[in-house]
Structure 1
Amino acid sequence: MKAISYSRYGGPEVLEYGERPDPKVGPDDVLVKVRAAAVNPVDWKAQAGYLDGMMDVVFPVIPGWDVSGVVVQPGVSVPEFAVGDEVMGYVREDVLCHGTFAEYVAAPVRTLARKPRTLGFEESAALPLAGLTAYQVLHRALAVREGETVLVHAAAGGVGSMAVQIARHLGCRVIGAARETGQDRIRELGAEPVVYDERTFAAQVRALAPQGVDAAFDTVGGPFLKTTPELLVPEGRLASIADGEVIGLGGRYFWVRPDSDDLAALAALAEEGVLSVQVAKTFPLDQAAEAQRANAQGGLNGKVVVTVEWDA
């Protein structure tokens, strides 16, 4: 099969496009014919070696954790899916090796759910990691409730935009922080925007929520995370997916996990029209390095997706 891979740590320059062995299908795996795979910051961070202390690596590595595609072969212990089913998944395993930037991926069944009928393959590939992160932080780390006010950082981005929509669906008032370029997107999602400006950020939030916010979802870390605790009500909750220093600030550091039930819940929200997915740019598989550069550059209101073309 054709795939993107790297044989040493580095930036986009280490990515190679070429032939790789077809994946073996274990008992609990599902062989998926890949139609699209989203690019996430964790892809190029792992590729640069930032996760070396956390995860074993078997080179050459095929990057990518997000995927959408069509079932080609269920494993012998997988009654959940049949040949021809359209699926999406957050295909994260315990070892960096077999990713989704390829024509085929053997995905553990626990990482998959059926693709939303209302979304195309590109949008469906952009949903799993970002959507699961937002869903699990709001439900588990922050346990937000109807009527609460929630502050979402980088609210126009991949994870942030999902968090805004899910929090709104849960009956929360949402304040969304973003750059100037993301303000209109935040309004479209039903949140009240504030602009990232180190001098005025806190004052902007206080003007909208003088008593403080009930929960804050950090996706950026750094100075804006450090400012956030002072914006909470006395019993307010704080969670970050970007900066472990949140623990010292009294919050929770959260890492998303694959969960087929949560993924199915996201698919249901998409089919109900509650959750929309915005794709900013697409690249063919052989241009995955350019897709990675676009994702790392940032500033996009939506996800970067790699597509795999198949003959009809």
Structure 2
Amino acid sequence: MKAVRLKEYGDDINKVVGIDQDVEVPELSPGKVLVKVHAAAVNPIDWKITQGYTSQGKDLESPVTLGGDFTGTVADIGECVTEYGKGDDVYGTAIFLAGGSGAYAQYLSTDTKMIAKKPENANNLEAAALPLVGVSALDVITKKIKLQEGQKILIHGGSGGIGSMAIQIAKHLGAYVATTARADKTDYLRELGADKIIDYKNEKFEDKLSDYDAVFDTVGGDTYKRSYQVLKKGGIIVSMLESPDEELMNKYQVNAEGQFTQISTDSLQKLAELYDRGVVTVNVDRAFPMDKAVDAMAYQRDSSVKGKVVIEID
């Protein structure tokens, strides 16, 4: 089978990642399923892996297949698997860091605890785009922030994959949503339901917002530190990228948490329900054929993406 594989770590993605035409189909083990892949999404973690961000200084012992988020059809099941059968359409993650075989391949193997039945109303590109961004937004908004009707939240990076999902979930819960993005994304963000849009290139959000109940940060760096200023006392900031800053927490008398998303069957089922009810949608900014997977990763890394980038495997 064909697979997109990382052979060594390096900054030049074109040199370290390539299409391998002769990779063995993953072997099944108990509790896992073999899936014929239809589409896989690109997340920042995918190209960060190629640069060694998760390697802890270790060299690759052998090539690994990249990719996490996917949708496909169950081709075979391992021992002890009773929840799924051949022919079931599923979605979830198969990232090798969590024990999967990698999603940028014609076939993958992954644990049943990291997949669920595909949303009925989603096509393959949409379903592949959902898992990481949808579960991240759902976890942060409902579990960590515990956003309530009438509260105010600032969501950074509103036009990105996680930000766009977070806006929709927050609006569904009845919150007032402010977001930061480029000016050319205004119409898109209005469609998602954003109440106030701040052009981060030309405006300082901390000068325009105050007394907010929550901030959801998907940007990090200086944006994260400045965000403490907009919170009311007792408010909360959750970041996808940064660890809590105790000095700023004490200064502004707010709470702070980091987010490390772990995809599970339960979270995927809740996400699929929201999708099928029309509560959330996902925008596929661009789809690439499998042979252009490296271009897809570079595009996600270097562009101002509106929603998600997806690779068509089948």
Q: TM-score range with shorter-chain normalisation?
A: over 0.9
| Residue 80 (structure 2) aligns with | 77
Alpha-carbon shift at residue 55 of structure 1 (Å): 9.2
Which among 52, 56, 59 is matched to residue 55 of structure 2?
A: 52
CA contact (8 A) 1:66 1:90 kept: yes
What is the rounded CA distance, in whole Å, between the counterparts of 1:33 and 1:246 in structure 2?
44
What is the rounded CA distance, in whole Å, between the counterparts of 1:154 and 1:54 in structure 2?
30
Which among 97, 111, 115 is matched to residue 112 of structure 1?
A: 115
What is the letter of the counterpart of residue 35 of structure 1?
A: H
CA contact (8 A) 1:246 1:253 kept: no
Per-residue CA deviation, residues 237-287 of structure 1 (Å, 9 max, x unaligned), is: 001002236565431111100211111110011100111010011111111
What is the rounded CA distance, in whole Å, between the counterparts of 1:172 and 1:139 in structure 2?
12
CA contact (8 A) 2:66 2:95 kept: no
What is the rounded CA distance, in whole Å, between the counterparts of 1:92 and 1:230 in structure 2?
37
Matched, 1:42 2:45: yes
CA contact (8 A) 1:154 1:219 kept: yes
| Residue 27 (structure 2) aligns with | 24
Alpha-carbon shift at residue 50 of structure 1 (Å): 0.7
| Residue 167 (structure 1) aligns with | 170
What is the letter of the counterpart of residue 235 of structure 1?
A: G
Matched, 1:260 2:265: yes
Per-residue CA deviation, residues 107-163 of structure 1 (Å, 9 max, x unaligned), is: 110110111111100000000011011111112221212221111000111000000
Matched, 1:204 2:214: no
SS in 2 for 1:175: strand
What is the letter of the counterpart of residue 256 of structure 1?
A: T
Matched, 1:127 2:130: yes
| Residue 214 (structure 1) aligns with | 213
Distance change (3 Å), C-alpha of 1:59 and 1:142: farther
What is the letter of the counterpart of residue 282 of structure 2?
A: V
Alpha-carbon shift at residue 173 of structure 1 (Å): 1.4
Comparing 139-148 and 24-33, the one that deviates more: 139-148
What is the letter of the counterpart of residue 297 of structure 1?
A: D
Give the count of matched residue pairs.
304
What is the rounded CA distance, in whole Å, between the counterparts of 1:148 and 1:57 in structure 2?
47
Alpha-carbon shift at residue 58 of structure 1 (Å): 4.7
Matched, 1:66 2:69: yes
Per-residue CA deviation, residues 77-109 of structure 1 (Å, 9 max, x unaligned), is: 111111111110022454677210000010110
SS in 2 for 1:276: coil
What is the rounded CA distance, in whole Å, between the counterparts of 1:60 and 1:30 in structure 2?
22
Residue ranges of structure 2 left out of the alignment (5+ in a row): 250-255
Which TM-score applies when normalising by structure 1? 0.92
What is the rounded CA distance, in whole Å, between the counterparts of 1:111 and 1:260 in structure 2?
5
Residue ranges of structure 1 left out of the alignment (5+ in a row): 207-211
Distance change (3 Å), C-alpha of 1:99 and 1:204: same
CA contact (8 A) 1:66 1:128 kept: yes
SS in 1 for 2:184: helix
| Residue 252 (structure 2) aligns with | none
What is the rounded CA distance, in whole Å, between the counterparts of 1:158 and 1:249 in structure 2?
28
| Residue 7 (structure 1) aligns with | 7
Which among 277, 281, 286 is matched to residue 281 of structure 1?
A: 286
What is the rounded CA distance, in whole Å, between the counterparts of 1:235 and 1:200 in structure 2?
23
RMSD between aligned residues: 1.9
| Residue 304 (structure 1) aligns with | 309
What is the letter of the counterpart of residue 133 of structure 1?
A: S
What is the rounded CA distance, in whole Å, between the counterparts of 1:247 and 1:295 in structure 2?
32
Alpha-carbon shift at residue 302 of structure 1 (Å): 1.6
Instruction: State the identity %.
Output: 37
Alpha-carbon shift at residue 195 of structure 1 (Å): 1.4
| Residue 158 (structure 2) aligns with | 155
